[in-house]
Structure 1
């Protein structure tokens, strides 16, 4: 049995309120989303247009790509409308104390 590796990504105080932000974590461009009291993470680059998702519009559990208006479910990374057809990678998130951790591998 292998231990799950969690990477310290940011302070919980830095989380946006019902919004998205981009950050680099261990050299990866990650988008962090808050929807109500939940926190989600995906790769930050759209699989269709190569735009940064943190520059898009978050509505509920969907992030809209700023380039071609394709959308992804931030909980799973699955595309929810055209022209996006390929999912974006999502990552498990946990909050312990005042820190936000991501499971990157």
Structure 2
């Protein structure tokens, strides 16, 4: 069994047995979307997150998009873009949307 160490600087996913961690947080629920069309996987991921009661920030290159538990976007109290988030902000997110290619690639939602 392989155990990877978490590297917060690179936002790596760590695996320990069957428990997954991202940003040092246990991933409680995860869903991946791959839909044909420009940004369609992102839109599907955002819709899924909204259906679970989460709101989200803005895209920032290939960085993660922060999720916050809340029914309305007025409850999203973090900086919109990942690059503007402090270490404390990152530790307080309720989940993330991540992809290597938001435009045409698959998109994964991780809820903590």
Bin of the TM-score, shorter chain as denominator length: 0.3 to 0.5
More helix by share: 2
TM-score (norm 2): 0.40
TM-score (norm 1): 0.42
